[in-house]
A and B are shown apart, each in its own frame.
Chain A
Amino acid sequence: MDTLIDNSDVFIAGFRTTIYLFLISAVGALVLGVVIGAMRVAPVKAANVFGTVYVNTVRNTPLTLLMFFFAFGYDKLGLIDLSYFTLAAVALSMYTASYVAETIRSGINTVPVGQAEAARAIGLPFTQTLGLIVLPQAFRAVVPPMVSVFVALLKNTTIAAGFSVAEAGAIRATLSERGEPQLVVLLWVAAIFVALVMILSLVQNRLEKKWAVSR
């Protein structure tokens, strides 16, 4: 307990960065993931191809590699300067988006095709058919797997530590300089992560209750 209390400044700063990184990447991944997922079911061939290529390349690239690219490759491209934090958020968003897209697509497949046909038959264009009829029903089926995707994202934020973003994964390094026992520090970091995941599970329960399927 002493380790935690004595170094609360480091713990708080680390986890604050982790949570920021998580929240920003989660929103980014959700938005990008829904767009990519929509492209995969869109009635436009080019969009299908782009969506499929995106998911297959990004999902099969190790996250560390993607982080490397953004951390070391990006500034070579000569674009606007971005902080490591921003680059890490972009990498995490892009990576997680491929999983979000796949989860959304499998959710869309749980909605009977007749629902989309009926929507098209009354003259709703593709975006409204998806946004008003299919996705609201798909989201209900998607909550549990989607929470798993975000739990993975939360854990993946620690990879950013390797690229100079001082989030929770970097706490051990900082505190070992202060001479704290490394194992104890690691156990505390792990315990706090477990607590954060439990918060996500709580959100899951709430959403599942709220969107209880009425069929």
Chain B
Amino acid sequence: MLKITAGEIKTVSQYIKDISGIYLDASKGYLLETRLSPLAEALDCKNYSELQHKASRDASKKIERQIIDAISTNETLFFRDKGPFELLQYKLLPELIDARSGGALKRQLRVWSAASSTGQELYSVAIVIRELLQGNLGKYNFHLLGTDISDNAVQQASYGKYNKFEIERGLDQAVLRKYFTAFGDSWKVRDELRAMVKFQKFNLMQPFTGLGKFDIILCRNVAIYFTMDDRKKLFAKLADSLADDGFLVIGSTESLTGICSRFEPKRHLRSIFYQKK
């Protein structure tokens, strides 16, 4: 494996922070090595500085994308932590539907999975919505958006195909049969579920122009990779993108203390969600 020098750890991690917000301190040299050496070797780079230069000079940004794919941790599972999905099914979605009902027009209900990785989180939300509304789904106008910085992750999410290890984690048999079809050794999300969601590439470090307001935002297990400063900026932008009566859900081991004072935590059963003050 190509060895990384102390100097390279500094410059390469600064470069990664610039393109993705993902912050790796000096102790993460091993992580850079294990994740970037295959790419460096495939591109015939003598060292990591050369990889970085190639990436910066590459106008197509292909190498930059490959670096992001290699560095980002896409670990996720269906119904991760369970609690937030019970929260959605029994509290947040019913309250929201209540608040948005009435009037002649079908009002849009917008849900955003802000670091959707390979899609399990957003598909879990779609399943919860279908279970909650059953035959009444057509009465509502749900828009479910998943975004992620990793091209590979967005691609897999859009394709909606999962291998048996991904499926085993978090899905019970009844849900699996109802919403997935066997596809060789893997499983594919059924069309009716696939049609409810949309995935696109988006970097959370950028301004949120053009995204509009959301009623529910899930921003789970991504800010943990950013510096405090970037976390503050991120949650300020999320506050701007959330409807006044909307809900924010963060990762179950995350906290907004010291990061954003515009949100107020509220507890329901085993979970916490946030609303704007």
A and B: bona fide binding partners: no
Q: Measuring CB to CB, which residues of chain A are less than 8 angstroms from any residue of chain B?
A: none
Q: Measuring CB to CB, which residues of chain B are less than 8 angstroms from any residue of chain A?
A: none
